[in-house]
Amino acid sequence: MNPKRTPPPFATALLAGWASLQGLPALAEPVSVSETVSAQDVSPGILAALREAQGRTEEQLLGRLTFEAQAIRLEQELSKALGERFGGAWLSEEGTHLLVGVTTEAGAALVRRAGAEPRRVARSQAFLERVKAELDAQTRNAPPSVHSWYVDLPGNRVAVEAEDAHSPQSRAHAFIARSSGAADGTIQVVPSKGAPRPVYDVRGGDPCFIGGARCTVGFSVNGGFITSGHCGSAGATVTGYNGVVMGTVQASVFPGKDYAWVATNSSWTPQPWVNTYGGGNVIVTGAQAAVVGASVCRAGPTTGWRCGTVLARNATVNYAQGSVTGLVRTNVCSEPGDSGGPWLSGSQAQGMTSGGSGNCTSGGQTYFQPVQPVLSAYGLTLKTGSALTVSDLDGWIQISP
């Protein structure tokens, strides 16, 4: 049994606000142990990687992880309650506050009552997503110098990353000129740190080989596993890390999206595990999408276990092979061979490595393909395992097999 921990004040406030939003009595006392995350609940590998990535003490990290799990619930409720007034939600840089964009003062008051901090914005998230969809509709016109575009919630804009961002004559400005968001400043061209590329070279996180290229197992599903689409085409034979044939790629999409699924043979048993490269296994318990600003970790055979934060969701990346939409942008590095690898927020499956720029020596950013679209596209069921339950806040909870 875990010792009783009093959650940090910001976590208590958020839970009290969430209860208020539901029309329930706000909590008069600090939340109980069932609503907190302790060191016994978190994989040592996750805790160590987060400590290195964020430079925080264990107590600070546990407070943040508790808060992040609560923030997922509140974001969903506020989005429904605010409707077109909702400007998106993201965590503060310190991870101690949930910031919520709102377009009206009445919306701001609702956010305050819910225990979050409102930020008045000119544009709703729904509006920003519609503007981004206009860019997605003309991906064939995107020049090679345009590397990606996404909704930047904190900036209340659609950001377009390009090589020649500061040149008025750049082809990036010609690309966005066709969109309704160009004239009023909704779309802004920002400098790119480099052209993203699929990181070619498969328990989740282990290497696999498809058509001679090394990729990574993403997540186990009933009957096989999922990985990135650019790793191989339908019909390709997949070999495991030990040289034993695993199965065959059943379906693959790239570009447009970046996912594939592999049906394994009787020599392999899909397990709900992710290899943390030195920290044991994480047991996958679900697939609840993390909020912008939340902590995420990924696994890959080239660079191991790396952690960082979510920077944007529903990003579009303009790879040389064609554009891919619906990706999640992060500040985590990756390198060739990490493609297809699993991303987790605690024990919640997030997606599979698609591509990125930079490397793990000088730093970089990586995009991942969310997990839900591939599960829905092929009617797959994610393999999940038993976990300790911390109320509804089980995003960071796991037990060893």
Strand-strand pairing, 259-264 and 224-227: antiparallel
Residue 1: closest CA among 29, 32, 41, 35: 41
Separation between Cα atoms, residue 305 and residue 362, nearest integer Å: 16
Contact at 8 Å (CB) between 355 and 196?
yes
Query: Active-site residue numbers?
Result: 230, 258, 339
Separation between Cα atoms, residue 149 and residue 271, nearest integer Å: 35
Angle between helix axes 58-82 and 44-54 (nearest 10 degrees) is 90
From the number of C-beta atoms within 10 Å of its C-beta (0-12, 13-18, 19+), residue 46 rates as: buried
> What does residue 152 show for φ and ψ, rounded to 5 degrees?
-95, 95
From the number of C-beta atoms within 10 Å of its C-beta (0-12, 13-18, 19+), residue 39 rates as: middle
Separation between Cα atoms, residue 255 and residue 136, nearest integer Å: 13
Contact at 8 Å (CB) between 146 and 138?
no
Alpha helix (H) ranges present in 31-104?
44-54, 58-82
Whole-number Cα distances in Å, 401 to 225, 272, 274? 19, 10, 12
